[in-house]
Chain A
Amino acid sequence: MDFANFLTNYEEAVSMILFGIGFSNLLMQKNLIKKIVGMNIMDTSVYLFLALKGYIAGHKAPIVVDGVCSAEVYINPIPSGLVLTGIVVSVSVTALMLALTIRLYNRYHTLDLDEISTQLKKEGL
């Protein structure tokens, strides 16, 4: 592998590293809040990746102000639209996860998922 490729595409590399961090946090943390934080890091890294893919150096945000309609001036607007949609999705999922966490915390007074499982086994339901 060419190390130079990493340097020229260092933003993408960063977003992939962030994805890895978020993914492993969501998978391996025991604490529910840390899991949710991991999930947000994971989603945000994908948005970073998308935003990078839509960005063209030197071009402006795709809002027509002074009557210039040429595509040469603006960045690609579609990834920005995708990021917005993705943010809506991840916000709603985060809200749902937090609500579930609150219910579990009120019931078992812990955020540790393994601890909750042990308590459930003790209840024997």
Chain B
Amino acid sequence: MAFVQNFPFISILLSLFAGPVSSVLNGKWAKRLNLFIITVIGVMSAAVLRFVLGTGQEYVYTMGHFPAPWGNEIRVGILEAVMALFFCMIMFLCVIGGALERELEIEESKQNLYYIMVNLLLCSLLALIYTNDLFTAYVFVEINTISACGLIMIKQTGRTFEAAVRYMIMSLLGSGLLLLGLCFLYSLTGHLLMSNIKEQATLLYASGEYHIPLLVSICLMSVGIAIKSALYPFHTWLPDAYGYSTLSSAAILSALVSKGYIFLLVKIFYRVIGFDIIRESKVINVLFVFGVAGMIMGSVNAIRENNINRMIAYSSVAQIGYIYMGFGLGTTSGIIASIYHIVSHAATKSLLFVAASGITDASAKSNNFFDLTGAGYRNKLAGIAFTAGSLSMVGFPMFSGFISKLLFAQAAMENRHKIMITMIALAISVILNAVYFMKTVIRIYTPEKKTVVIDKGFEEIGFWEQPSKSAALVCFIALNVFLGLFSEPVIGLIEKGLAMFS
């Protein structure tokens, strides 16, 4: 066995141990340790990706060298390595982009606690990506929820406590359903490892017995994960949680946490149940309907919002809707489009959150839409970044959002029954996206009267005044343009990885 093959396991352990170690460091060193760990894990994921691409085969890593039915397994393929690498990159940029806000908004003595949460979150995300055991996935889903809750409430205001409670309640409902679903599946198949469950589930489906329990179990797991990742009717916790928490929390939550759950759902579809059974079970039609509803209602809510952070948060509801609509198409190209959208949305939404904070910094920290007039001139880089993010969200060519919308449209072509609804929903949603994002872009590039600027104490912010945030913004823009211009290799990797799944 090559040494590289140990890297996924080592990266999970590294981030897991970095959490407790952060608790005895002070804020500054905890941050350095955290950034170091994320970088190391990113490099290791890249090495794993290179290794898997070289061999062209997935491999299974047995934990503690116990063979299959007894031991716990990690499974590594191309898609897993890509996701791990990408999540590390986004998390690194989110952590450095929000450094200033954290120092202001979190008490001095609690700075290091933040990095415990970030490390644990990274650990649980990696475990969700790599694990081949359904119950382990459940445990890490809960760790993910708890650390995400910590990220929300670390900024200690009444708003964030309320948001954290609402987030916890909805998440617990979701994980309760997920747990029940996988208990059903365990009692039906007698296995917990994903590959064994799939064998038994295929046999069970072919035998024609226990169809209803299998269907119930699929429903429970899908609905549970849908609740946790804020699919439309279950999105009520989302705007508060993203809108009022500190900047890097909002960026990490919207870009990574919900995506980790969705990736688990893809694994359940492909590696636990088998996509043919999922397609025949009609569960995806339900996901399709709610996804389409989310695409439109999320944008409608965003248009009505005057607080820029909450507006971006509501836009997440719409984008999650896109991803579930891709699942609902029931074709492999639909899933590929969804996974590409996970990547593209993670890159864009974190960019938008960081850019929005740059804009509000230039408007005396006001989140109000009308105070942002002319902010694009006062903080030039943040203005450009926000424009780039908005164009990507709207689906302007050259940016990543365009590619994902193109992929959704192409995937819809393969499904005769859903093509009309998908196209219409895409069109409406793009127009609605344009309404609120372009409205904001126009607002930040409308010159404000000099007297008002002096009255309200708006300041100009140069590139070098917030170096870490500027660096993060530049990287985010570059990432977006890269995903928009050189999408072919990324899509190729996703296709290959998904082919390894089944």
Task: Report A's interface with B, CB cutoff 8 A.
Answer: 19, 22-23, 26-27, 32, 35, 39, 42-43, 46, 49-50, 53, 78-79, 82, 85-86, 89, 92-93, 96-97, 100-101, 103-104, 107-108, 113, 116-117, 119-120, 123, 125
Contact = CB atoms under 8 A, between A and B. Distances in A.
A119 B159 CA distance: 10
B26 interface: no
A89 B139 contact: yes
B359 interface: no
Contact of B162 (A23, A89, A97, A120): A120
28 contacts: A19-B180, A23-B177, A26-B172, A26-B173, A39-B172, A39-B176, A42-B172, A43-B176, A46-B180, A46-B183, A49-B187, A50-B186, A53-B186, A82-B186, A85-B139, A89-B139, A92-B146, A93-B172, A97-B168, A97-B172, A100-B149, A100-B168, A104-B162, A107-B158, A113-B165, A113-B166, A117-B162, A125-B159
A96 B150 CA distance: 9
Interface string B299-316: 000000000000000000
Given A39-B176, A89-B142, A100-B164, A120 B158 contact: yes
B278 to A, nearest CB: 23
Contacts of A49: 180, 183, 187
B157 interface: yes
Contacts of B158: 104, 107-108, 116, 119-120, 123, 125
The 7 closest A-B pairs by CB, nearest first: A53-B187, A89-B142, A42-B176, A104-B161, A100-B165, A46-B179, A39-B172
B355 to A, nearest CB: 23
Interface string B140-176: 0010011001000100011101101110110011001
Nearest to B192: A78
Contacts of B396: none
Contacts of B169: 26-27, 35
B135 interface: yes
Interface string B9-52: 00000000000000000000000000000000000000000000
Contacts of B192: 78
B146 A46 contact: no
A96 B183 CA distance: 24
Contacts of B162: 104, 113, 116-117, 120
B165 A32 contact: yes
Q: Chain A at the B interface: mostly helix, strand, loop or mixed?
A: helix
Given A53-B187, A93-B146, A107 B161 contact: yes
Nearest to A108: B158
A1 to B, nearest CB: 10
Interface of B: 135, 138-139, 142, 145-146, 149, 153, 157-159, 161-162, 164-166, 168-169, 172-173, 176-177, 179-180, 183, 186-187, 192
Contacts of B180: 19, 46, 49
Q: Chain B at the A interface: mostly helix, strand, loop or mixed?
A: helix
B367 to A, nearest CB: 11
A114 to B, nearest CB: 11
Nearest to A103: B161
Contacts of B179: 43, 46, 86
A14 to B, nearest CB: 14
B161 A100 contact: yes
A43 B183 CA distance: 12
A100 B135 contact: no
Contacts of A108: 158
B257 to A, nearest CB: 16
A27 B173 contact: yes
Contacts of A86: 179
B142 A104 contact: no
A104 B165 contact: yes
B172 A100 contact: no
Nearest to A45: B180
Contacts of A26: 169, 172-173, 176
A101 B164 CA distance: 10
Contacts of B146: 92-93, 96
Contacts of A32: 165
A21 to B, nearest CB: 12
A93 B142 contact: yes
Contacts of A42: 172, 176
A26 B145 CA distance: 16
Given A46-B180, A104-B161, 5 more contacts: A19-B180, A85-B139, A93-B172, A100-B153, A116-B158
A96 B151 CA distance: 13
B162 to A, nearest CB: 6
B165 A101 contact: yes
Contacts of A22: 176
A53 B180 CA distance: 12
B165 A85 contact: no
A71 to B, nearest CB: 13
Contacts of A89: 138-139, 142
Contacts of B157: 125
